[in-house]
Amino acid sequence: MSRRDADPRDGQEAAELMASAAGAALAASGLDGSDVDWIGATAGLTRYADPARLVAERIDAGAAHTVLAHIGVMQQTLVSHACRAVQNGAHQVALVVGGEAHYRKVRAAARGLESYVTTQAPAVVPDESLTSPDFDASMSHPAEVAAGLSATPAYYALIDSFWRSQNGRGIEEHRDELARVYSRFSAVARNNPDAVRANGYRAEELRDPSANNPMLAFPYTKLLATTWTVDQGCALVITTHRHADELGIPDTARCYPVVAVESNHVVPVAARTRLSQPAAMRIIGETISGRMGYDVSEIELLDLYSAFPAPVFIGAQALRVPAGRDLTLTGGMSFAGGPLNSYVLHAIAAAAQRLTSSDAHAALVSSVSGLYTKQGALVITAEAPPEPFETIDVTDAVADEEPQLPVVVDAQGAARVVAYTVVFDGDRPERAIAVVDLADGSRAVARSHDQELMASALTDDLVGAEVVLRDGIFTTADQTESQRLLVYPASTGSATPVTYRPESETR
């Protein structure tokens, strides 16, 4: 469900959105809160101590076992956890919920109002917590922070730059394709009643920066990035086939999780041998093919994680999706909406709706956590599969193919650009950030504030360029030569080379 209240005082907090979605999902299944004995919730922007408990209280499921999946745990992982909870007989009806009320909060702040949020007692804790210590400790690297990598768009733009260069695409060709694919996403959103941007966009409106579509981190404009200023809630009801029969849930209202495959190989972006980690989704796809008994590319319905274009392109290539296929069921996170830590639940719900209302047999929904740090995919079908639901972890296989490189914080000297982006402040380039290879096989991250270099980087590909690092700044070979001035002391007339540091390096 999605709300867009003009007056924030009419809006619902995240807990209410989750509870409303839960009530609707239960009613559609012929159930009520008393049937639910397990509730799992994703952590979101509203940091409730136990959001699942707030939902339980609102739907009269007060005795339900509550679970909180913290940031860094893939949303798919929580869904798998719920499936196993009913599969092993410990619980009968599980509910997975997620929600954000950031639009309400932003609108209220703009009017000088405070958004009411339920506060739980200090002693309240969930019955169970899912955490990811590796994610918390290793998602980013100090070298990335030192170079000014702080916003998510810049990280994904670096990954995008690497993928583009690996696939031999020029800058302009790639920008055209980004806009084309996301224009189709916006067209899909027009048929989604819950989409927050349902007007549709032409490719040129998405590709090029404008007052309403500023450049964030080249080549990503605002409309190519997730929109998390949403009021959205979602709920999934999960039970066994047998219990569904006992409850009288009609076959036409059911679909079935078949297999969930995930990689939890946590490596900072700059430390990845291949920034796009292509082996992850390839191995996930091969594993799904083996489990399904047919090629993953034949699955009819797809929703590829779309906070930024890079995961869409990486996923489509790794899964060998035929050209021309739709890659979203909702319109994606730019247009349907990107609630911070629950979009995948919306995509699964959309897949379930399509499976129960069409002739499609199967749907695949992919997941990502962090900075394309973890990857996963869940397959659900319209008919009961011959084998029980299975969760498969391919982390070790991915780690073997995507080893981690050492990253140097204060590297000096010659290097080669592996990936780069230009980060914008409003309509003005603020810094270029480059991930570079050093001669000894290690990595570094550097920045430049030089306006000429940044302007050139928007049209002329820097990937593969030889650069020089000094004090966290990178310069091209041509720049380095031009910055050397000759000073002639009047007393001797001899030439003494002096290195000139422009103002841009000291910012």
Please state which of the four CATH numbers 2.40.50.840, 3.40.50.620, 2.60.120.260, 1.20.1560.10 is assigned to the domain occupying 407-506.
2.40.50.840
Quick one: how far is CA 477 from the chain centroid?
Answer: 35
Alpha-carbon torsion 203, 207, 211, 214, what sign? positive
How does pLDDT run across 376-385, given as a tens digit for each residue? 999 999 999 9
Q: What pLDDT is stored for residue 165 in this prediction?
A: 98
Neighbours of 211 (CB within 10 A): 6
Longest dimension (CA), the chain: 101
How does pLDDT run across 115-174, given as a tens digit for each residue? 999 999 999 999 999 999 999 999 999 999 999 998 999 999 999 999 999 999 999 999
Q: E-strand spans in 22-114?
A: 38-42, 65-69, 93-101
How many residues can be counted in the chain?
A: 507
Give residue 499's pLDDT band: very low, low, confident or very high (50, 70, 90).
Answer: very low
Sequence-ordered alpha helix ranges (H) in 167-251: 171-189, 203-207, 241-247
d(CA 431, CA 67): 42
Q: Is the pLDDT of residue 505 over 60?
A: no
Give residue 507's pLDDT band: very low, low, confident or very high (50, 70, 90).
Answer: very low
Q: What pLDDT is stored for residue 502 in this prediction?
A: 29
Give residue 273's pLDDT band: very low, low, confident or very high (50, 70, 90).
Answer: very high
d(CA 293, CA 210): 48
Lowest-confidence region among 52-66, 96-110, 477-491:
477-491
Please provide the average confidence, as pLDDT, over all residues in the chain.
93
Q: What pLDDT is stored for residue 480 in this prediction?
A: 54
Pair of tokens at residue 212: 């309403």
Domain boundaries, the chain: 2-131+225-401, 407-506
Mean pLDDT over residues 473-499, rounded?
A: 49
Identify the CATH number of the domain defined by range 2-131+225-401. 3.40.47.10
d(CA 23, CA 14): 14
Say if CB 419 and CB 158 are below 8 A apart: yes
Adjacent-strand bridge partners of 475? 468
Q: What pLDDT is stored for residue 83 in this prediction?
A: 98
Q: Is the pLDDT of residue 490 over 80?
A: no
For 480, list phi and psi in degrees, rounded to 5.
-60, -40
Mean pLDDT over residues 31-35, rounded?
A: 95
Note the pTM of the prediction, 2 decimals.
Answer: 0.93
Give residue 481's pLDDT band: very low, low, confident or very high (50, 70, 90).
Answer: low
How does pLDDT run across 324-358, given as a tens digit for each residue? 999 999 999 999 999 999 999 999 999 999 999 99
d(CA 429, CA 409): 24
